[in-house]
C-alpha cells in the first residue's frame, strides 16, 4: 500500500515584480472583469505556463516587469502520519509553498498530488467570512472540508471549549481580536478531522499558553495518524513537534532530513546581517576611538544571529585607537524585546582591574556561557568608554540575536521558566 499522502515534483512559482498581480486571487479577477472586461479578456490570453504570448499589455509594463521565482524545482514526499516542519529564513518560499499545497494559488511549473482533505491555517483572516458569527463560521468551514452538519455538531462543543470564545460565539468574527480569531480558526482546523493539517507562523499571534496548547493538539492530531505540516521560526517548537524537516533557501530545497540533526545545521548555517556590523568607510577616522566591526558567533565559530540556549556563543569586537588610554573599558549590553536591559559585561570583568589600551588596532572576544540568557530576541549595545567620564564610541542596537530553546531546560521540561536569565545553578539537598 502506498502511504504517500503529499507528493511534490519540480514545483516552481514565478511572480512578476513591478507588475500588478491581477491574475492572483478571485477578488482581483472580479474587480478587473467588472471594471474593464475587454482589457481583462485581452490580458487572459496568456496563462502561467501556457507558453502563449500576451500582446494585451503595454511595452512599458513588459519592460518594467521582472521575473521572481519564489519557488524553483522543489520536490519531496510526505508519508501519511508524518509531522513535517518547513524551515528557512524570511523570503525562503515557505508561505508560497503552503499556499500551493492549500490550493490558494497555482504553481507556474511542476505539480502536487495530495490525497485527503486539507485544513489550512496560514494567516489571520484565512478561511472565515468576516460578516458571519463564530458559530456560523464553524459550520461553514466544516462544510468546506466536506463534513455533514451531524459531524460538525459532534465536534462543536470541543471546538468552542478549545477556542475559549464561547462568550462571543454569536458575534461577527470581524469584531474579534486577532488572538480570538486565531484561537477559533485553529480550533476549527484541528478538530474537524482533516487528513492533512497545515499551520503557518500564525500561531505566533497567540500568547505562550495558547501556543503550548496548540502544539499539544497538533501532537494529538499526529498520533491519530493524520499528517501535519508546520512552519515556524521557533526552533524549539519545531523540534518538539516535528520528526522530519524540509529546509528551504531562496526558493529551493537545501536539505530534507531528521529534525534534530537539521535544526542544528540550520541554526549555524548562514551569516546574517543582524549578526555582523562594520563601520562605513566614510565614517572612519574622525574620532580618537572607533569600534570598527562586531559580530556574533555561535558555538561552531560561525557568524549567526540564532544560537541554541544550551550552547555558548561569543561576541567579537575590533576597535582602533589613535592615542593611549590607561583605563578604557569595552562593554556589551543585552536588551530584550521588551526593552529591558538583561545583562552587561565589560573587558575588565575577569581582570579585576583596568587594562591599558595603546595606540593601534585591538580585538576583543567575550565568551557567553550556555544556559544564561532566557530564550528570546535581543539587541546588543557595544561601547568603548572611560568609567565615570563618558562614552568614547557606541554601536547602538546594530546587532540582533535570537536565543532558541533548543536543548534548554525549558524545552526539555516545558516548565516555562520565568526571568531574563536562566542559569543552571548548583543545588544542595539534605534531610534535616
Domain CATH number, residue 100: 3.40.50.300
Do 244 and 379 reside in the same domain of the chain? Answer: no
57-66, 387-396, 397-406: which has the minimum mean pLDDT?
A: 57-66
Of 159-168, 277-286, 339-348, 405-414, the least confident: 405-414
Give the lowest-confidence range in 135-144, 164-173, 194-203, 359-368: 194-203
The 3-state secondary structure of the chain, one letter per residue: CCCEEEEEEEEEEEEEECCCCCCCCHHHHHHHHHHCHHHHHHHCCCCCCCCCCCCCCCHHHHHHCEEEEEEEEEEEEEECCCEEEEECCCCCCHHHHHHHHCCCCCCCEEEEEECCCEEEECCCCCCCCCCCEHHHHHHHHHHHCCCCHHHHHHHHHHHHHHHCCHHHCCCEHHHCCHHHHHHHHHHHHHHCCCCEEEECHHHHHCCHHHHHHHHHHHHHHHHCCCEEEEECCCHHHHHHHCCEEEEEECCEEEEEEEHHHHHHHHHCCCCCCCCEEECCHHHCCCCCEEEEEEEEECCCCCECCEEECCCCEEEEEEEEECCCECCCEEEEEEEECCCCEEEEEECCCCCCCCCCECCEEEEEEEEECCCCECCEEEEEEEEEEECCCEEEEEEEEEEEEEEECCCCHHHHHCCCCCCCECCCCCCCCCCC
Mean pLDDT over 289-309 rounds to: 90
Question: Does the structure show a pLDDT above 60 at 227?
Answer: yes
Q: Is the pLDDT of residue 44 over 70?
A: no
Most confident of 41-55, 145-159, 310-324: 310-324
- The mean pLDDT of 242-253, rounded to a whole number, is 92
Report whether 134 contacts 166 (CB < 8 A).
no
- Tell me: pLDDT of 30 over 70: no
> What is the rounded CA–CA span in Å between residue 41 and residue 61?
17
How many Å apart are CA 259 and CA 267, to the nearest integer? Answer: 12
Cα 77 from Cα 227, distance rounded (Å): 12
Task: Based on the fold, state whether residues 80 and 189 are members of the same structural domain.
Answer: yes
**Are 390 and 291 part of one and the same domain?**
yes
Q: So what's the pLDDT on residue 7?
A: 94
The pLDDT of residue 198 is above 50: yes
| pLDDT confidence bin for 62, thresholds 50/70/90 | very low
Across 317-336, average pLDDT:
91
Q: Are residues 224 and 258 in the same domain?
A: yes
Task: Round to whole Å and give the CA distance between 428 and 430.
Answer: 7
Total Cβ atoms within 10 A of residue 26: 7
* pLDDT (mean) for 120-126: 68
Q: Does 54 reside within a domain?
A: yes
Q: Are 310 and 407 in contact (CB under 8 A)?
A: yes
The pLDDT of residue 228 is above 70: yes
- Mean pLDDT is highest, among 27-36, 81-90, 331-340, for 81-90
More confident residue, 221 or 325: 325
> What are the backbone angles phi and psi of residue 181, rounded to the nearest 5°?
-60, -50
CA 20 to chain centre: 27
The answer as to whether 358 is a domain residue is yes
84 and 136 in a single domain? The answer is yes
375, 418 contact by CB (below 8 A): no
Residue 318, domain member (yes or no): yes
309 lies in the same domain as 254: no
Is the predicted pLDDT of residue 360 greater than 90, yes or no? yes
Cβ partners under 8 Å of residue 57, min gap 6: 43
Residue 427 located in a structural domain? no
**pLDDT > 90 in the chain, percent:** 31
- Say yes or no to pLDDT of 58 above 50: no
Here the contacts of 202-211 (C-beta below 8 Å, separation 24 or greater) are 202/121, 202/122, 202/123, 202/124, 203/121, 203/232, 204/232, 204/234, 205/124, 205/178, 205/179, 206/179, 206/182, 207/179, 208/416, 210/179, 210/182, 210/183, 211/237
Which pTM value belongs to this model? Answer: 0.61
Q: Is 421 inside any structural domain?
A: no
Average pLDDT, rounded, for the chain: 80
How would residue 89 be classed by pLDDT, with cut points 50, 70 and 90? Answer: confident
Q: What's the mean pLDDT in 24-47? A: 47
Q: What pLDDT sits at residue 47?
A: 39
- The sign one gets for the Cα dihedral 403, 409, 412, 418 is negative
pLDDT at 21: 47
For residue 54, name the pLDDT band (cuts at 50, 70, 90).
Answer: very low
Same domain, 23 and 8: no
426 domain-assigned:
no
Provide the domain limits for residue 293: 276-413
Same domain, 141 and 247: yes
Confidence of residue 253 (pLDDT cuts 50, 70, 90): very high
The total of structural domains in the chain comes to: 3
Are 302 and 355 part of one and the same domain? yes
Q: Which of 14-18, 53-57, 182-186, 335-339 has the lowest mean pLDDT?
A: 53-57
Q: What is the mean pLDDT of residues 140-166?
A: 87
> What pLDDT does residue 347 have?
87
Residue 340 belongs to a domain: yes
Closest CA to 342 of 317, 378, 296: 378
pLDDT value at position 224?
83
Please give the C-alpha separations between residue 90 and each of 93, 233, 237, 246, in angstroms, as whole numbers.
Answer: 8, 9, 17, 15
Axis-axis angle for helices 149-163, 134-144 (nearest 10): 130
Average pLDDT over residues 203-212: 67
Check whether 170 has a pLDDT greater than 90: yes
Other CB atoms closer than 10 Å to residue 389's CB: what's the count?
9
Give me the pLDDT at residue 269, please: 62
Confidence tier at 218 by pLDDT (50, 70, 90): confident
- pLDDT of residue 427 exceeding 50, the answer is yes
In the predicted structure, residue 76 carries a pLDDT above the cut 90: yes
Please determine, for residue 402, whether its predicted confidence score (pLDDT) is greater than 70: yes
pLDDT confidence band for 22 (50 / 70 / 90):
very low
What does the pLDDT read at residue 407?
57
According to DSSP, the residues that pair with 139 across neighbouring strands are none
CATH of the domain at 324: 2.70.50.60
pLDDT of residue 49: 41
The stretch 34-52 carries a mean pLDDT of 44
For the CA atoms of 96, 98, 101, 104, what is the dihedral angle to 10 degrees? -70
- Of 47, 64, 81, which residue constitutes the final position of a domain? 64
Predicted pLDDT at 419: 78
Q: Which of 246, 267, 288 is the last residue of a domain?
A: 267
- 102 and 46 together in one domain: no
Amino acid at each position: 500500500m502506498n502511504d504517500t499522502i503529499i507528493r511534490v515534483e519540480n514545483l516552481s512559482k514565478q511572480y512578476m515584480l513591478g507588475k500588478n498581480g491581477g491574475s492572483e486571487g478571485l477578488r482581483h479577477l472580479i474587480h478587473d472583469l467588472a471594471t474593464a472586461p475587454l482589457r481583462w479578456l485581452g490580458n487572459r490570453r496568456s496563462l502561467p505556463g501556457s507558453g502563449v504570448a500576451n500582446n494585451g499589455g503595454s511595452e512599458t509594463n513588459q519592460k518594467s516587469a521582472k521575473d521572481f521565482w519564489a519557488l524553483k524545482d522543489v520536490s519531496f514526499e510526505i508519508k501519511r502520519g508524518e509531522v513535517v516542519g518547513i524551515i528557512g529564513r524570511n523570503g525562503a518560499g515557505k508561505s508560497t509553498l503552503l499556499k500551493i499545497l492549500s490550493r490558494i494559488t497555482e504553481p507556474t511549473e511542476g505539480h502536487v498530488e495530495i490525497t485527503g482533505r486539507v485544513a489550512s491555517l496560514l494567516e489571520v483572516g484565512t478561511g472565515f467570512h468576516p460578516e458571519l458569527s463564530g458559530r456560523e463560521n464553524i459550520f461553514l468551514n466544516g462544510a468546506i472540508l466536506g463534513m455533514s452538519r451531524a459531524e460538525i455538531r459532534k465536534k462543536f462543543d470541543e471546538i468552542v471549549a478549545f477556542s475559549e470564545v464561547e462568550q462571543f460565539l454569536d458575534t461577527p468574527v470581524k469584531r474579534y481580536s486577532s488572538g480570538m480569531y486565531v484561537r477559533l480558526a485553529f480550533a476549527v482546523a484541528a478538530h474537524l478531522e482533516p487528513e492533512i493539517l497545515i499551520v503557518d507562523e500564525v500561531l505566533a499571534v497567540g500568547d505562550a499558553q495558547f501556543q503550548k496548547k496548540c502544539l499539544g493538539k497538533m501532537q494529538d492530531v499526529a498520533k491519530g495518524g493524520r499528517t501535519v505540516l508546520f512552519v515556524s521560526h521557533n526552533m524549539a517548537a519545531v523540534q518538539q513537534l516535528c520528526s522530519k524537516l524540509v529546509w528551504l533557501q531562496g526558493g529551493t530545497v537545501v536539505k530534507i532530513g531528521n529534525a534534530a540533526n537539521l535544526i542544528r545545521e540550520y541554526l549555524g548555517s548562514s551569516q546574517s546581517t543582524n549578526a555582523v556590523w562594520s563601520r562605513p568607510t566614510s565614517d572612519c577616522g574622525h574620532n580618537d576611538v572607533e569600534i570598527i566591526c562586531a559580530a556574533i558567533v555561535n558555538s561552531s565559530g560561525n557568524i549567526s544571529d540564532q544560537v541554541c540556549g544550551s550552547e555558548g556563543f561569543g561576541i567579537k569586537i575590533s576597535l582602533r585607537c589613535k592615542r593611549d588610554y590607561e583605563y578604557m573599558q569595552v562593554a556589551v549590553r543585552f536588551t530584550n524585546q521588551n526593552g529591558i536591559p538583561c545583562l552587561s559585561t565589560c573587558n575588565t570583568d575577569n581582570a579585576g582591574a583596568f587594562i591599558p589600551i595603546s595606540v593601534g588596532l585591538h580585538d576583543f572576544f567575550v565568551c557567553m556561557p550556555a544556559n544564561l540568557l532566557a530564550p528570546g530576541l535581543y539587541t546588543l549595545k557595544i561601547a568603548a568608554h572611560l568609567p565615570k567620564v563618558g562614552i568614547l564610541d557606541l554601536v547602538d542596537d546594530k546587532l540582533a540575536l535570537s536565543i532558541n530553546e533548543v536543548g534548554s531546560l525549558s524545552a526539555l521540561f516545558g516548565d516555562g521558566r520565568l526571568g531574563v536569565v536562566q542559569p543552571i545553578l548548583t543545588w544542595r539537598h539534605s534531610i534535616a
